[in-house]
Amino acid sequence: MQPALSLIFLTILIGTGQGLFLALYANQIWSWLGFLDTPVSAMLQVLGSIVALLLLLAGLIASFFHLGHPERAWRAATRWRSSWLSREVIVLPLVILSVILYGLTWYPDSSPQSSASTSTLSLTLGTIGALLSITLFICTGMIYAGIRFLQEWSNALTIVNFTLLGAASGFTLAAVLATNNNVAHLQFFTLTAITVTLLGLITRGASLWHNRTLQHKSTPQTAIGIRHKRIFQLAQGAIGGSFNTREFFHGRNRIFMQRSRWLFIILTFVLPIILMLLALNTAGKSLLISAAICQFLGLFIERWYFFADAHHPQNLYYQNA
């Protein structure tokens, strides 16, 4: 597939926004359960909610650049019964709304000691928001995993990776935002970010392995229905290319793909884990910031690779593209 910049931005930005929100909520739950001795800072929850909101809105704006007719985008919410894309279109504004409401429950409470009433309300709203965020991850993943003949995508790992990679970048970002905070909270964010990034490395690695060992069901023989081992294409039905040769081919060679694969593994997973482990011991702010930037950049390559890695069966009709 030809990776579309709008989709790369959309999936990374909303994924990080959802992840950040999940991190704020997880911190609140962790503290509520009594694992953290200091209360959750309202400042951090408000700041985090604003950043998550901005990321989600930026993602939403990016998605409009993918459309031929953005003015008709509202129509995309009508087919939620059958289309995962439609479901995503419905859930995304709900997540945005719950992030706003969640942030507002913390806003009037600027003192470090949060009152019980806001806590119950924000816990409820946080739970709803977290469930919606996970639903949105599933919707985003299913858009790709639901196309059954794109075998690189059509498996549970796609959904798991969207969730874990979004959560990883969100938790890392939460750690950056919490640098001026209490050490216990900062440690919580850093440790969870390391864990989720590590889990993401395992599942993304698993999907890379799955795609490497994949046997494609469609062949040139089934595509044109002629039983012969050697089928060679002489003409594709267009001189200057067509939508089919532009939309479904990334046009990069194997070496480029190989290098971008290693680059994203290092930038998204390996380096951030090392930097965050160092930050755990030295409590270095700059280490956390560089880990977050590094991971964010890595995600762009990762997402580009995710799209480029999928081989559409229609490409069998365009062997010379």
Partner 1 sequence: MTQLALIIDLNVCVGCSACVTSCKEWNSSGISGPMSDRNPYGKNPTGTFFNRVQTFEVGTYPNTETIHFPKSCLHCENPPCVPVCPTGASYKRPQDGIVLVDYDKCIGCKYCSWACPYGAREIDEQQRVMKKCTLCIDRIYDQSLPEAERKPACVLACPTSARIFGDVHDSESEVSHLIREQGGYTLMPEWGTKPANHYLPRRKIMRQVHEDELQRADNPLKKEAPLPIPALDEPSLEDVTSW
Reference 133, options 105, 156, 103, 166; nearest CA is 166
Q: What's the angle, vertex CA 109, arms to CA 103 and CA 115, rounded to 5? A: 110
How far is residue 115's CA from residue 107's CA, in Å, rounded to a whole number? 12
Candidates 54-62, 192-200, 267-275, 310-318; binding stretch for partner 1 (CB under 8 A): 310-318
Closest CB to partner 1 among residues 34, 225: 225
313 is a contact residue toward partner 1 (CB under 8 A): yes
Chain positions 80 to 119 lying near partner 1, rule: CB under 8 A, are 82-86, 89
Show contacts with partner 1 in window 232-261 (CB under 8 A). Answer: 232-244, 247-248
Distance CA 283, CA 274 (A): 13
Residues with Cβ within 8 Å of 111's Cβ and at least 6 positions away in sequence, in order, are 42
Minimum CB separation from partner 1 for residue 134, in Å?
Answer: 21
Least CB distance to partner 1 at residue 62 (A): 13
Give me the phi and psi of 239, to 5 degrees please: -80, -55
| Rounded-to-integer distance, Cα 91 and Cα 77, Å | 10
Which residue, 243 or 255, is less far from partner 1 as judged by CB? Answer: 243
Rounded least distance, CB 146 to partner 1, Å: 7
Touching partner 1, residues 55-84 (CB under 8 A): 66-70, 72-73, 75-79, 82-84
Angle between helices 5-32 and 285-309 (to 10 degrees): 130
**Backbone dihedral angles phi then psi of residue 319, each to the nearest 5 degrees:** -70, -20
Using the minimum distance from each CB to partner 1, give the nearer residue, 246 or 285.
246
Number of amino acids touching partner 1 (CB under 8 A): 57
Per CB under 8 A, the list member of 40, 136, 143, 273 interacting with partner 1 is 143
The minimum distance between CB 151 and partner 1, in angstroms, equals 11
Binding mask 206-235 for partner 1 (x = CB under 8 A): -----------xx-x-xxxxx-x-xxxxxx
Q: CA of 213: how far to CAs of 156, 207, 208, in Å?
A: 16, 10, 9
Nearest to 194 by CA among 263, 121, 288: 288
Residues 28-57 that bind partner 1 (CB under 8 A): none
Contact yes or no for 143/85 (Cβ under 8 A): yes
Taking the CA atoms of residue 245, residue 248, residue 253 and residue 259 in that order, the dihedral angle to the nearest 10 degrees is 160
Nearer to partner 1, 198 or 238 (CB): 238
Can you give the binding site for partner 1, defined by CB under 8 A?
1, 66-70, 72-73, 75-79, 82-86, 89, 143, 146-150, 217-218, 220, 222-226, 228, 230-244, 247-248, 312-315, 317-318
